[in-house]
Structure 1
Amino acid sequence: MKHGKKIAHLGRKTAHRKYMLANMACSLIEHKFINTTLSKAKALKRYVEPLITKSKNDSTHNRRIVFRYLKNKYAVTELFRNISQKVGDRPGGYTRIIKLGNRLGDNASMAMIELVDYNSVYSLGSDSRKKKRRRRKSKSSSQLEDAPTVEEAAKEDVPAVEEAAKEDVPAVEDNKENSNENIESEPKDS
């Protein structure tokens, strides 16, 4: 019977499971997020959150305890220098699990586990800057003075357009008259 046994075995022996979780925890600390199966993400959350809590109190004893779990001095340094500073005021819940759907090959439910304070989309303390609109470069003042205004240009163009329209209309009518004469001048074969 499995009463009171809360550890997720993940289909592995104890040593393999321990090293796999240590490796995943180092990857999470280094990259700030990883994609894995949902059950591994839940097991990793239970594994890494006490280590982050220990990193808040930077002492040699806590560094040795965390190193015993992670087995990677670069991950321990990153955890105690950067991550502990960012999560110092948070009382817990340092990671977030987001479900991603099922994997195509074996239909395993996938998830992304990430450090909460390192995601700018979900974090509340992020800078909400408005996007700046880019404007065209304004013309220099000399170009503005030389260029005619829109109203002046419109007044100049309107008479020219009307004159061109008047000249075109009779030409079209002349063509129609000529074409009618050509049709009438053709002999009928009836």
Structure 2
Amino acid sequence: MRHRCRVPELGKPADQRKALLRALSTELLRHGRITTTQARAKAVRSEVERIVTLAKDGSLAARRRALGYIYDKQLVHALFEQVQNRYGNRSGGYTRIVRTVSRRGDNAKMAIIELV
């Protein structure tokens, strides 16, 4: 029984959705802040939190799992070096979603997702 256990589909097939989430996660970790739609921000939040938790673990297996998900190898190595100083005493909640004005073309709800 999987009632109410749905994945945010974002109007895309599974392969495109996974690629979109990987790209958004990579850019969020690279720049620290991105502007996207509210639905995409909520979907990418769990992926980024999972990667930061892997980086806090710091083991070789966790590094390999992160390398399998994030596109940039140097970004993963930098993340694993810096995450203990930044999130060492925090037990979750590494991202913040701030709603902004709607997009002008199609009135989509926009949001800024950033690393805390």
Q: Distance in 1 between matches of 2:84 and 2:21?
A: 20
**1:78/1:6 CA distance change after superposition, 3 Å:** farther
Amino acid at match of 2:6: K
Q: Distance in 1 between matches of 2:84 and 2:105?
A: 38
Amino acid at match of 1:27: E
Q: Deviations over 1:132-190 (max 9, x none)?
A: xxxxxxxxxxxxxxxxxxxxxxxxxxxxxxxxxxxxxxxxxxxxxxxxxxxxxxxxxxx
Amino acid at match of 1:83: V
Gaps of 5+ in 2: none
C-alpha displacement of 1:15: 1.0
Aligned residue number for residue 82 of structure 2: 82
Partner of 1:102, secondary structure, is: coil
Partner of 1:114, secondary structure, is: strand
C-alpha displacement of 1:97: 0.1
Contact 1:58/1:80 (<8 A) preserved: yes
Contact 1:38/1:111 (<8 A) preserved: yes
Q: Distance in 2 between matches of 1:85 and 1:72?
A: 21
Q: Distance in 2 between matches of 1:36 and 1:98?
A: 11
Segments of 4+ moved more than 6 angstroms: none
Aligned Cα root-mean-square deviation (Å): 1.3
Aligned residue number for residue 21 of structure 2: 21
Q: Which has the higher contact order (CA 8 A, sep 6+)?
A: 2
Aligned residue number for residue 60 of structure 1: 60
Count of matched residue positions in the alignment of Structure 1 and Structure 2: 115
Q: How does 1:158-169 map to 2 (within 5 A)?
A: none
Q: How does 1:22-171 map to 2 (within 5 A)?
A: 22-116=22-116
TM-score (norm 1): 0.58
Partner of 1:106, secondary structure, is: coil
